[in-house]
């Protein structure tokens, strides 16, 4: 089943127009599409508290106003968030996205009969049987390739349940994720934000995000993990999204 979404209407009265394409489109497919979109686009996120805080914070008000209406995006599964985090470790966003596109092209399931058409992001079943050397040929380091394949195999074998982390506390999630080979604190926090939707998490080990925050706050000197501003708790992840989108907007990549 293929799902396409466009935004219509004015900024004050926006609406989403959704198109489903597939062999069987019934009420079940519509419900699944609705649940998927609510997760991917953060449609159910209540941001009233964040808006109130931003309105009273001079350093934040302008940033949030430029991206009025932003909802927190989230990957469809925790595994997809993990693979995205691994792919982007110590790389620019552009390079990471290219690697992920190659992964989907090589190992994703076709969404329709056209073999050269759209492909879904590969899940554990598709990646568990892949030789890490195949991912290395796509541009991944061997260490990243092994981490991705090993995690997929553990999920398929029943030794790893990433979805169960939905109900775990932050400390447990961080410990469980950093216990995986090749997963450090930044990747774990990235998964907490993008895969588990924990909007209070600002991935502080993200050097690019730290530099954006440092420039945004007008700070001088060293700005390491321990100095990441926490005064916006519990909305650090939303600040992270706004800083990222602001930089993409200034680069002309989003309107």
Distances (CA, A) of 149 to 159, 194, 203: 14, 20, 24
CB atoms within 10 A of CB 118: 15
In the chain (255 residues long), the average pLDDT of successive 10-residue segments reads 84 85 78 90 91 86 84 94 95 91 94 74 97 97 97 97 95 96 94 95 78 73 64 85 84 72
* Residue 195 · residue 81 · CB < 8 Å: yes
Helix (H, G, I), strand (E, B) or coil at 214: helix
Q: What pLDDT was estimated at residue 172?
A: 96
Q: What pLDDT was estimated at residue 22?
A: 72
Q: What pLDDT was estimated at residue 179?
A: 95
Phi, psi of 45 (to 5 degrees): -70, 130
CA distance 189 to 82: 10
Annotated domain spans of the chain:
1-44, 48-72+199-255, 78-186
Q: What pLDDT was estimated at residue 204?
A: 77
Q: Which residues contact 252 (CB under 8 A, 6 or more apart)?
A: none
Q: What pLDDT was estimated at residue 150?
A: 97
- List the CATH code of the domain at 48-72+199-255: 1.10.1670.40
Report domain 78-186's class: mainly alpha
Q: Retrieve residue 218's tokens.
A: 């007008």
Whether the ω angle into residue 234 lies within 30 degrees of 0, i.e. cis, is yes
């Amino acid at each position: 089943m293929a799902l396409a979404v466009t935004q219509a209407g004015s900024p004050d009265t926006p609406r989403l127009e959704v198109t489903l394409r597939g062999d069987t489109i019934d009420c079940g497919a519509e419900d699944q599409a609705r649940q998927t979109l609510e997760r991917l686009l953060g449609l159910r996120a209540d941001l009233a508290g964040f808006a109130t805080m931003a309105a009273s914070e001079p350093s934040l008000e302008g940033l949030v106003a430029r991206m009025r209406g932003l909802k927190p995006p989230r990957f469809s599964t925790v595994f997809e968030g993990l693979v995205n985090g691994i792919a982007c470790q110590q790389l620019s966003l552009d390079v990471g996205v290219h690697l992920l596109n190659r992964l989907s092209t090589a190992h994703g399931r076709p969404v329709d009969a056209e073999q050269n058409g759209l492909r879904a992001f590969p899940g554990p079943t598709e990646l568990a049987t892949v030789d890490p050397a195949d991912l290395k040929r796509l541009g991944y380091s061997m260490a990243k390739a092994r981490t991705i394949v090993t995690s997929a195999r553990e999920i398929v074998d029943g030794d790893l349940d990433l979805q169960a982390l939905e109900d775990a506390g932050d400390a447990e999630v961080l410990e469980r994720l950093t216990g995986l080979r090749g997963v450090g604190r930044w990747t774990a926090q990235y998964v907490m934000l993008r895969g588990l939707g924990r909007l209070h998490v600002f991935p502080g080990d993200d050097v690019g995000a730290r530099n954006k925050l440092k420039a945004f706050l007008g700070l001088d000197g060293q700005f390491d993990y321990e100095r990441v501003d926490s005064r916006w708790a519990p909305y650090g992840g939303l600040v992270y999204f706004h800083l990222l989108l602001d930089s993409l907007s200034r680069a002309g990549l989003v309107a």
